[in-house]
Structure 1
Amino acid sequence: MLFYMPGKVSNLIFILSIAMLVLMRMVHFQYSYSGMKFPFHRPVLTVSNSNPILKPRVPLNVLWIIFDDLRPALGVLGDPIALTPHLDQLGEKSTVFTEAFCQYPLCGPSRISVLTSRRPDTLLSYFNGYPINQTGTFVTFPQYFKEHGVVTASFGKVFHVEDDILFDWDRVWSSKPWFPSQNHSSVESECSRAQGQAQFKLMCPVDLSTHPSAFFADNELVRKVSEFFRNWAETARSNRDQSFFAAVGMHLPHVPFKFPEPYLSAYPLERVKPMPDVENVDFSPEIRQYTRRLFRKWNFLGKNLDPSRFNDRFRHQFKQHYYAAVSFVDRQIGTLLKSLVAAGLDENTIICLTSDHGFALGEHGLIGKQYIYDVTTRVPWMIRHPSASGSLRNFSIVPLEQLHRVASQTRRRPLKSVAQPVESLDIFPTLADLAGIPAPPRCPVFNGMLSRKQPLCVEGTSQAQEVLDHSYPNPRVTNRSLRVAYSLTTQGQLMGRQKRNISMIMYSARDHQYRYIESFAFNLSSYSPLFKQSLHRELFDHVNDPDELHNITGLSKYKEVVDYFSKQIRSYFDVKNTSNHHP
């Protein structure tokens, strides 16, 4: 507010105000670029423990949907192949984070990281099946919601392994977690055109004319969640102050790709771009070893087969089946959202949708996950808040026979597109803020040893203000951010899925322009990285090389960039270095 003050006093106040603004700008500039010759700095971190979001007038429910192995293969995210009309309709009414990255590209470590908002090296979680409380007693965000009076419910794969949570499920969930009644791998006879056990492990289209009662895990999952919505709507009339947190873990597009066979018709092979010609890929030794181990695990290529000899047609079909599986699970999401609307819960429910990690489909010669390029670490993340414009009441289901028409239609755009690096760690504090419950305290930043000692704290940063800012900039406008997203993975003699197998750890730093990767030896005795034993470095410039095909670490003009990221990784994650200065 401005006040009129006559004479010299007003002039003096005006001059002092201008001087103060200039000084603040200079301080910000000095902090941001001091000692730097390229446009980025250390991550932007919020250290306030106070909740900046006003408590909503009525309790808001939260529906959290997490996919398994879903890369950003959505039409609303610009994927040219994907036919996802239902996810696109949701994205059209949501804030979509187009540069979201997981912290570990493997199901177990990623999910524990998301649920606790702790980095994998804080939890020492480097492989599947690692108990969540092996390192300490950590509060997950469903538990945090429950402790604040919210009814929590779990459907499908939320934590990685069912046994990780069932023994003390009542600490986290208000009712016993629910899982599909059948094991998807127990019905091999349903797979059409199966070519032995190996084929079934990966691709399983089902001929419904032969198997009309075939079991699909995600189909049963949606029916159960829809029943939950109906029951909640009936009982909520008598308790309007109660809210729920429902976690829904979809199975697809995890292998095996099991779906009704007609979904393949939406993806004729001529419409699916083949995987890169692996004969011309310059495999690094690490990728070659990893790919061999992966194929050996899938048990269909033989222990000595060179991955560069992988059959091109089979690779093409694998990609085709992946996208068909995505379209099938997209249809299930459409049914789920329609049931939410039918129960009258859409106008007071926050919908958060993401994936545990990405999935490579031939990029870098890789198929699968557990490497830290964009294709394996980048995930879809969208949030639909009830206060946003656009209702779900006009949400429509696209019949399978009309799915092919989506390919020729103008792709839908996000209601709001946020093009800045964010991390899966941010989900916990973001949903707490949006739901109006107290903001969880922040962990000691980039200090895993101190963070381990705190049962409740978050290493992520709330993105609630981005969601609640309804200015809706043009989705084509790129928001340049100074934040860095960090990911890591481990490798070993088998798949890095057991403690005894870890021999190397790989860290990645990703900002709006660069991805930097550095590998270090791993000491099993101390169970920690050996930061003095650097094994491999990679740097990619996303402005000129969005597919991360050209490692530019050897170019002299990028030496400062490489040195900066390398120093930052050591400074932030070498917890044994007592000289570390953590921001």
Structure 2
Amino acid sequence: MTMKRILTFLWAALLWGAASTTSPAATHEPARRPNVLFIAVDDLNTRIGCYGDPVARTPNLDRLAQQGVRFERAYCQFPICNPSRVSLLLGRYPTTTETIDFAHPALLGPDWVTLPQHFRNQGYDVRLLGKIFHFDKNLMQDWYPGEAVPGEEYPPDWSAGEKWVRRSQEVHARMLADRMRWEPYRTLAPPPNSFARMLRTWANVFGPVADSQESEVAAHPRAYDWTADVRNAKDAVALLAQYAAADQPFFLGVGFYKPHVPLVVPQRFFDLYRPDDIPLPGDFAPRPTAPDAVPRYALRDNLDLFFEQSVTPESARQAIAAYYACISFMDEKLGSLLDALERLQLRDNTVIVCWGDHGWHLGEKGMWAKGTLFDVAARAPLIIVDPRRNTAGRTCLRTVEFVDIYPTLVELCGLPVPTGLEGMSLAPLLDDPGAARDKPAFTMVAREDWLARSVRTERWCYTEWDEGRRGVELYDLQADPRELRNLAAESAHASTIARLRALFHSGPVAKPAPIPDARRAP
């Protein structure tokens, strides 16, 4: 090549480079922060397809797992609705929030902000539909505009604008719709006048309700459409359509009620399951029954199903089928949200988090309840989808906990990290689900006027009841995943117990957490 050609080539390259750097197509504008779809499911355990359950029909939960990372070993901090949600939404352990029951609101520190409040402070449009918080006015009214609907946990929307809650007759219709009963069980009128009567009528009910019976519910011909999950799913889709035309990033929380009791949904969801084909747990018993050498405090009375009843295998299979039917009902509504994200071209810039607030016993150890420290109650589904990562369809086997969700979303969306968060971001596991992680999971429950605490690693679960004064438990989760053999009294495991016990005395869970009289669990 001659010198003239070389100079001509270099001059052309220089001109092309200058043009390309000033071209509008090459201008580097700040990337829009990702949206967040935050999905909470009440009383959802891991009896779903993507977690390996062969019976459950959950195509949309399974689809969601294929789009993101499924966390196999995710644990709540307190296996009851309110304490679990308060802990997650504040990013702090129950020993910090001091929320251990349904009756008392969270005790907020002076500089604490909830997860959605933090996103709102950073410029997100933040909305709530359904059950995200649990009747906690401190967490809601601290920053919601307006007042909550009387008798409901729903405030107006999380940002100024339309009110996405239904008042007066609409709220009444929805409540009635959620409590529809197949004829032999329609026992809710007049309303129960005591907690025990409520349990005998409301919580003991499970079975189908036909779509054709909508007109029988208090003269509301469209009662089914006013069930909480149906209504909230429709409103969520409408909101997503608005967001598709807007420039502001959104944080949309959608809380599904099912599979919370009563286990009543339309017949077509029951048609998906044959009770005779449903296997019972290997440790099924007619009433709550502890394995050998397990403290009695490890059990909980059946308050949600089979209250004051002895359960037959036939009834147990019918109840499990009803639970599956409710999951499938919820799954269908979830599918409408996922379809809307794709149809509205929001999927590629929306982080999705789907979680169950805790697990649920379906006859394991004779229990039909939450509120225990066994794996089936403490462990719950967690799926995180970040479309910017290439780990779709992967499974993470590391031990994680729900207090980690707050810092995870903050990091994924590039927001400043609030002070005082006690979890650890899961973002590295979204890049590499097999990455090392040396962090245990802590779960707590209240009994009388004292706490019990469990710590879980990838192999072990160690539990102290009242700091060990009322019993201890140790399970090898790899060899004994159903937690049937308590190893705590075996001398061969003394060093393991010492190592696990030390974890209780370090970090946020080490702070003292006395339960005042006003906060004692029932």
TM bracket (short chain): 0.7 to 0.9
- Equivalent residue, structure 2, for 1:182: 171
- Equivalent residue, structure 2, for 1:344: 345
- Equivalent residue, structure 2, for 1:518: 464
Instruction: Give the direction of change, closer, same or farther, for the CA distance of 1:336–1:188 in structure 2 (3 Å limit).
Output: closer
Instruction: Give the direction of change, closer, same or farther, for the CA distance of 1:117–1:193 in structure 2 (3 Å limit).
Output: same
- Equivalent residue, structure 2, for 1:460: 423
CA shift, 1:301, in A, is 4.5
Equivalenced residue count is 443
CA shift, 1:368, in A, is 1.2
Gaps of 5+ in 2: 1-28, 146-156, 188-199, 216-221, 514-522
Equivalent residue in structure 1 for 2:90, among 116, 119, 140? 116
CA shift, 1:271, in A, is 2.2
Whole-Å Cα distance in 2 between the matches of residues 282 and 509 of structure 1? 20
Paired residues of 1:421 and 1:512 also in contact (CA < 8 A): yes
Whole-Å Cα distance in 1 between the matches of residues 369 and 398 of structure 2? 25
1:170-319 to 2 correspondences below 5 Å: 170=144, 173-175=158-160, 178-179=164-165, 181-182=170-171, 185-187=175-177, 190-195=180-185, 197=187, 198=200, 200-201=202-203, 202-211=205-214, 213-215=222-224, 216-234=227-245, 236=246, 239=247, 242-275=248-281, 276-278=283-285, 281-282=289-290, 286=296, 290-291=300-301, 294-295=302-303, 301-302=307-308, 309-319=310-320
Equivalent residue in structure 1 for 2:133, among 146, 159, 179? 159
Instruction: Give the direction of change, closer, same or farther, for the CA distance of 1:536–1:151 in structure 2 (3 Å limit).
Output: same
Paired residues of 2:95 and 2:511 also in contact (CA < 8 A): no
- Equivalent residue, structure 1, for 2:47: 73
1:563-578 to 2 correspondences below 5 Å: 563-572=498-507, 573-575=509-511
The residue type equivalent to 1:575 in the other structure is K
Paired residues of 1:364 and 1:549 also in contact (CA < 8 A): no
Paired residues of 1:108 and 1:130 also in contact (CA < 8 A): no
- Give the structure-1-normalised TM-score: 0.70
Whole-Å Cα distance in 2 between the matches of residues 514 and 416 of structure 1? 24
Gaps of 5+ in 1: 1-54, 391-413, 442-456, 493-502, 521-530, 578-583
Instruction: Give the direction of change, closer, same or farther, for the CA distance of 1:282–1:348 in structure 2 (3 Å limit).
Output: closer
CA shift, 1:179, in A, is 4.0
The residue type equivalent to 1:485 in the other structure is A
Whole-Å Cα distance in 1 between the matches of residues 78 and 116 of structure 2? 20
Whole-Å Cα distance in 1 between the matches of residues 110 and 490 of structure 2? 43
Q: Aligned pair 1:370/2:316, yes or no?
A: no
Q: Aligned pair 1:439/2:417, yes or no?
A: yes
CA shift, 1:316, in A, is 2.2
Whole-Å Cα distance in 1 between the matches of residues 335 and 75 of structure 2? 25
Whole-Å Cα distance in 2 between the matches of residues 137 and 124 of structure 1? 16
SS of alignment partner, residue 351 of structure 2: strand
Whole-Å Cα distance in 2 between the matches of residues 196 and 479 of structure 1? 52
Instruction: Give the direction of change, closer, same or farther, for the CA distance of 1:301–1:154 in structure 2 (3 Å limit).
Output: closer
Instruction: Give the direction of change, closer, same or farther, for the CA distance of 1:137–1:268 in structure 2 (3 Å limit).
Output: same
Paired residues of 2:114 and 2:139 also in contact (CA < 8 A): no
- Give the structure-2-normalised TM-score: 0.78
Paired residues of 2:79 and 2:358 also in contact (CA < 8 A): yes
Equivalent residue in structure 1 for 2:124, among 122, 145, 150? 150
CA shift, 1:568, in A, is 2.6
Q: Deviations over 1:312-335 (max 9, x none)?
A: 332221111111100110111111
